[in-house]
Structure 1
């Protein structure tokens, strides 16, 4: 059954589907949403998935986003008299999944809320009314009857501190909320189209799960006891995994193992459900992982003192989002902060950011205290004075990348020196042109000097470009994104080359002092370029330290017919 809001012209729709004899998926499809959570761009919208399991008793697994209130509650009433719902399983309390818990409770006042201890505590502040609750731990079960035995698996930090997975032994279905999902909106309930899903599946992992790679591996280790028994993974976003379940879960395992190999580790502390702490911290953490450095994210609200002490002792650096100075949870966060201060040492770096929660602990006293403890300043405090917009999240991501690059520098130098000198020189004889890639998306703009570019197809006209994983512009070159390839002119390229080769501080305007005009796709065209091509990213292939991006050409023009492209000759081939 598909219910549509006609006035919105398919912007918001709702779909129900039987995924098992006694189980119904209620999928809220947000077709046109182009930003999500920590302001990462979406190409294909997203979905919010909720599930009804009927045994002798009935369980609702997660609800939906508040924007779907009317559509969702109407669909729920069509499926069941809400008063017959016995349990509401809260996989985690992030608002896009628990935003309608209060509304459902009003229709099902006797329903028991099932969740982790931390989730129940968060819900008390979300619901603002008494409710029946059942706190569950990993390995515990809930018998709905008729074979539907729900087993719970602890999966904290994926990507919320109170996350649990739920496994239905009868349907062999694992409900994983954010994990294994994708911001990928389509009518198909399951993952039939692996090729279409793959780019969004990977991008979702990189944005939300890569900063929690160690937590992913811990959760998957708990899942391993169900090996061979899981036939469906019912995700919180995007299609359910059934046709390519093994392939896609193994990708998660492989990616997380690769992310966790780094000897360098940054501990990122934030406060869930306070201001913008979780979103800002996720952006910083995502930037760090782009540089190949491992991250562990810890919620100060639920942090275990012993675990905090152990993590800080292992970390090369710490990043802290300012906690609330008073009110709910302040005593817990202040205690965690004291544990951090007691555990740090003078060989570590640190960075601080404001959470913009309305009651932030002042940033300067903590900044001074960490300096007095002789920690090195990783970056100047990020001060948030208004609701964060795209440039603030870009600043956070670039700050994280800069920090990761700095800490990984010694390892990079060691790797460069390890290659045979003759091989270095031979590889360096591969010459290439010189180009500036410019991209714009929403309020964001970025640019980079590029030389690893070659034409790759005639029909359609297309070329490939290799983009290092830690480049800021990489986030603006996802499948479906557009950009401009500016081709530099021999004899007239040094000015642009020097400008875009310099190291820009996080959040800096890369086009200050450069003459530009907007292309049809809104990306900047450099006035002093020999030629330009307007391009669309068609696909991406992952390499060890670069993305190989295949692009199709939409338009282009040459400004000087007789001029030649600037050529780049390197002496060695194992670094730029």
Structure 2
């Protein structure tokens, strides 16, 4: 179904309420693949959707077009959740010219070698005029792929922001005003922590590039369109990119075999709570490791625990640490803890990985058999 955002600008993307894994990240309420149609003397489509939803997408387009043709297509990102419907769209609208970065051109050829289309390469400062509208292109490499860019619709003060400012939510809301600021920040933080955190330097460059733009509407590639809470989200992005954390917030992540490591997690929870810290405990048997990463975004202290199994940590804890290291949070204080029966390698292994993340470390906590 298509939705009118403002005069001449429509949301024509799709809701994927059933997807549960995205980039190794658990998405319990699904997501959206957002696409936008801008009506002018020349008609412009901004982004596609995932291939599995191509037929629904074409129906959404026709609801708005009513037999008219698309003249231009802006491809902000080549990743398949953004571009997957390209072959079917080009079959129906073969005259449309595709615009994107040089890396986008390479990616589209690799993903869709048999698709037929004409491509125009754009760079920073280039403008596409469609009549009364001007689309200004803002390449943003490594936010979060080399081809990524955002596009600014100058006359409407509207930014098609691609993966920046996105959220994974497949519950059907169109605008940020439908669920309020707290929900928007929570979903945005979850998305940032699990996808964008390694690219803080590049995101800060993007924020600098758009700082001089008037922003009335932000249309991301996933989640709700942001209208009311743009200043708050921009402020949060600056904070997250600078790895600003709550000084008295502790995240304890662990898994346990016979309950002793759980007791250690509870002990640490009591000790730090009594000191006035805000403590959150995540058991990896009950939660996906991406849930833990979401909670790590603003935690100054990250404590990780596992018993020793076969001279190693438990696989759930290992997976979390690999994921954590890849996402590269900085300016954190870490602690390894765990129980063991006769060898106890897990605690030193956790400690070493947290050190390799650049964490300042507290003394490890280990116990033989039981506490």
Normalised TM-score (structure 2): 0.70
User: Residue 217 in 1 paired to residue 218 in 2?
Assistant: no
Q: Distance in 1 between matches of 2:311 and 2:166?
A: 34
Q: Distance in 1 between matches of 2:28 and 2:333?
A: 21
Q: Distance in 1 between matches of 2:242 and 2:210?
A: 16
Which consecutive aligned stretches of 4+ in structure 1 deviate over 3 angstroms post-superposition?
Answer: 435-440, 446-449, 464-468, 472-480, 501-511, 544-547
Give 1:191's aligned residue: 176
More RCO (CA 8 Å, sep 6+): 2
TM-aligned CA distance change 1:154 to 1:436, over 3 Å = closer
- SS of 1:234's partner is strand
Task: Give yes or no for contact 1:83–1:108 (8 Å, CA) kept in 2.
Answer: no
Give 2:28's aligned residue: 43
Q: Distance in 2 between matches of 1:129 and 1:208?
A: 29
Shift of 1:22: 0.5
Q: Identify which of 126, 142, 145 aligns with 1:140.
A: 126
Shift of 1:474: 5.8
Give 2:17's aligned residue: 31
Normalised TM-score (structure 1): 0.46
TM-aligned CA distance change 1:70 to 1:436, over 3 Å = closer
Give 2:192's aligned residue: 205
Q: Identify which of 472, 475, 483 aligns with 2:290.
A: 475
Superposition pairs of residues 250-399 of structure 1, within 5 angstroms? 250-258=235-243
For 1:216-239, what per-residue CA distance to the aligned partner results, in whole angstroms no more than 9, with x for missing partners?
Answer: 11111111221xx11111000000
Task: Give yes or no for contact 1:83–1:110 (8 Å, CA) kept in 2.
Answer: no
Unaligned regions of 5+ residues in structure 1, if any? 1-14, 260-289, 291-434, 441-445, 456-463, 481-497, 512-543, 548-573
Superposition pairs of residues 395-406 of structure 1, within 5 angstroms? none
Task: Give yes or no for contact 1:447–1:500 (8 Å, CA) kept in 2.
Answer: no
Q: Distance in 2 between matches of 1:25 and 1:78?
A: 11
Q: Distance in 2 between matches of 1:439 and 1:476?
A: 18
TM-aligned CA distance change 1:132 to 1:190, over 3 Å = same
Give 1:158's aligned residue: 143
User: Residue 16 in 1 paired to residue 5 in 2?
Assistant: no
TM-aligned CA distance change 1:140 to 1:439, over 3 Å = farther
Look at both structures and tell me which one has the larger radius of gyration over its CA atoms. 1
Unaligned regions of 5+ residues in structure 2, if any? 246-251, 272-277, 296-304, 319-330, 335-360, 364-371
For 1:264-308, what per-residue CA distance to the aligned partner results, in whole angstroms no more than 9, with x for missing partners?
Answer: xxxxxxxxxxxxxxxxxxxxxxxxxx9xxxxxxxxxxxxxxxxxx
Shift of 1:121: 2.0
Shift of 1:499: 6.8
For 1:139-196, what per-residue CA distance to the aligned partner results, in whole angstroms no more than 9, with x for missing partners?
Answer: 11011112x1100111011111101110001211100111110102233211122222
- SS of 1:453's partner is helix
Q: Distance in 1 between matches of 2:182 and 2:203?
A: 23
Aligned-CA RMSD value: 3.6
TM-aligned CA distance change 1:509 to 1:16, over 3 Å = closer
Give 1:64's aligned residue: 49
